[in-house]
């Protein structure tokens, strides 16, 4: 075994980065603007920032449910594309739209009927400062206006995902960049009342988000319509989908949808466990999550790229090439995460100081950022393992690997360390984050066994 097996040549990295960079750039801009949004809302006060942050954690379950549903179908899209089967791609587009609208309906009903109960899960009395009733009020206000954007979010997931899986990462990136720019601009105008408009506070933040979603959907729709000859599968008439294909997509897609719901709800359960320490921790975790999401863009985007590249290899039955690509992409992703983790460790201190909140919240946020910087390479490896397993349609194993680790390890561990060991947040957070090493061991073992090598179309 030589080290050369783990590194590609210039052509390899050019191919990998051609897929990864547009996704990376889009996610980078999205998360950077999310951080600016967080700072702007934070300028209103700790309660406003905490209320909006809590709602964003709740609605993330909806967004990731969409992502999971689209991802399961997207496995087939990528492999049909590798097989050059346009009719097959058209079937997957139809099914994506059905799943997107169904998820939108269910998610909207849950958020409307249980808004106060869901937000209250994150609010606990403690010795820290902060008005819980006021935080709840701001959260409900933000969520009520945010609901308008659920439909555009669903349609964007369906169209942008299909474009990426068929080799076009540029236009989803461009639409995403336009959306986050729009969001940032309107946040500034509507939150603080610029250009003669009244200051709308958290309501303005929600309205700005909805405007940006419509802009993103509009750009994608116009591009697809103008280039309809290039993408005929978006315009195939009828609603027919072969029953056997529906069955296969449901069997492969349902575990991914359930996985994303359980994983995101598990991460929310972790946030609730952290919030048991008080509203200061809610605010600090909001800041740290925004920063860590920004720096995690690189390895997250590389994971998506692994899924696309390897999925196309498997669709073309190039199994040896798929194995070789996985090995080299894992190495690249790990080294990339080490470098970015180091940068986040040193930059976190300066970013945390931009927020208009108490010194205690700022100091805790910086601490949480630095802890995450140490475990970032672990998250990079588990993310790469997840997308590799998913590329071959091993969605049940993916489900157990991803959600199982959250609900069987991290969530019980966090609550046990709080209620039984009585650890404070400075000891509890690194202990919970360190559990990721167990997931790394399992993920690498599954990838090495090559259980993911299969063609499903």
On the CB side of 34, how many CA atoms lie within 13 Å of its CA? 22
- Rounded Cα–Cα distance for residues 233 and 307 (Å): 21
Quick one: tokens of 36? Answer: 């600016």
- Rounded Cα–Cα distance for residues 128 and 366 (Å): 18
Quick one: tokens of 170? Answer: 């540029």
Q: What are phi and psi of 169, to 5 degrees?
A: -95, -10
- Rounded Cα–Cα distance for residues 403 and 89 (Å): 29
Is the Cα torsion angle 275, 298, 173, 403 positive or negative in sign?
negative
Angle at 308 between CA 302 and CA 310, to 5 degrees: 95
Q: What are phi and psi of 55, to 5 degrees?
A: -60, -40
**pLDDT tens across the length of the chain (457 residues):** 577 788 877 888 887 888 778 778 767 776 776 677 777 887 787 788 888 888 888 888 888 888 888 888 888 888 888 888 888 899 999 999 999 999 999 999 999 999 899 988 888 766 555 578 888 899 999 999 989 989 999 999 999 989 988 888 889 888 988 988 898 899 899 999 998 889 999 899 899 989 999 999 999 999 999 999 889 988 887 778 888 888 888 887 777 778 788 888 888 888 888 888 887 888 888 888 888 888 888 888 888 888 888 888 887 788 888 888 888 889 999 999 999 999 999 887 777 667 777 788 888 999 999 999 999 999 999 999 988 887 777 767 877 788 888 898 899 999 999 999 989 999 999 999 999 999 999 989 988 888 787 766 6
Cα 51 from chain centre: 20
Quick one: tokens of 253? Answer: 């897609």
Contacts of residue 213, defined as CB under 8 A and 6 or more positions apart, other chains included, come to 149, 152, 153, 156, 179
pTM of the entire structure? 0.74
- Taking a C-beta distance cutoff of 8 angstroms, is the pair 70, 158 a contact? yes
Contacts of residue 177, defined as CB under 8 A and 6 or more positions apart, other chains included, come to 25, 26, 29
- Rounded Cα–Cα distance for residues 275 and 122 (Å): 6
- Taking a C-beta distance cutoff of 8 angstroms, is the pair 125, 272 a contact? no
């Amino acid at each position: 075994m030589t080290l050369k097996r783990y590194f590609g040549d210039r052509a390899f990295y050019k191919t990998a980065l051609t897929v990864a960079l547009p996704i990376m750039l889009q996610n980078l801009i999205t998360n950077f603007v999310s951080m600016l949004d967080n700072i702007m809302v934070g300028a209103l006060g700790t309660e406003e920032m905490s209320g909006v942050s809590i709602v964003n954690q709740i609605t993330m379950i909806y967004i990731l449910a969409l992502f999971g549903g689209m991802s399961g179908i997207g496995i087939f899209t990528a492999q049909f594309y590798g097989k050059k089967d346009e009719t097959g791609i058209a079937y997957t587009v139809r099914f994506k739209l059905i799943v997107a609208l169904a998820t939108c309906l269910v998610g909207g009903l849950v958020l409307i009927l249980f808004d106060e109960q869901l937000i209250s899960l994150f609010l606990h009395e403690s010795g820290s400062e902060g008005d819980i009733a006021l935080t709840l009020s701001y959260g409900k206000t933000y969520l009520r206006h945010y609901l308008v954007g659920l439909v555009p979010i669903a349609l964007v997931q369906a169209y942008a995902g299909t474009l990426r899986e068929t080799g076009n990462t540029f236009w989803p990136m461009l639409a995403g960049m336009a959306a986050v720019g729009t969001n940032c601009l309107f946040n500034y105008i509507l939150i603080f009342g610029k250009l003669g408009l009244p200051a709308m506070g958290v309501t303005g933040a929600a309205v700005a988000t909805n405007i940006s979603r419509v802009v993103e959907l509009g750009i994608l729709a116009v591009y697809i319509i103008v280039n309809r000859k290039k993408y005929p599968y978006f315009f195939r008439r009828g609603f027919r989908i072969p029953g056997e294909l529906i069955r296969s997509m449901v069997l492969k897609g349902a575990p991914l949808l359930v996985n994303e719901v359980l994983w995101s709800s598990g991460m929310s359960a972790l946030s609730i466990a952290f919030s048991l320490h008080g509203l200061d921790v809610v605010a600090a975790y909001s800041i740290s999550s925004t920063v860590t999401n920004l720096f995690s863009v690189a390895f997250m985007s590389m994971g998506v790229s692994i899924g696309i590249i390897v999925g196309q290899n498997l669709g073309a039955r190039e199994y040896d090439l798929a194995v070789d690509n996985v090995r080299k992409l894992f190495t690249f992703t790990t080294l990339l995460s080490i470098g970015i983790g180091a940068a986040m460790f040193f930059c976190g201190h300066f970013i945390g100081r931009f927020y208009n909140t108490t010194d205690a919240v700022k100091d805790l946020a910086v601490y949480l950022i630095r802890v995450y910087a140490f475990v970032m390479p672990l998250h990079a490896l588990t993310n790469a393992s997840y997308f590799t397993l998913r590329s071959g349609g091993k969605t049940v194993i993916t489900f157990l690997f991803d959600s199982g680790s959250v609900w069987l390890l991290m969530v019980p561990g966090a609550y046990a360390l709080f209620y039984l060991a009585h650890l404070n947040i400075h000891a509890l957070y690194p202990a919970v984050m360190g559990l990721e090493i167990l997931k790394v061991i399992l993920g690498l073992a599954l990838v090495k066994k090559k259980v993911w090598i299969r063609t499903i179309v």
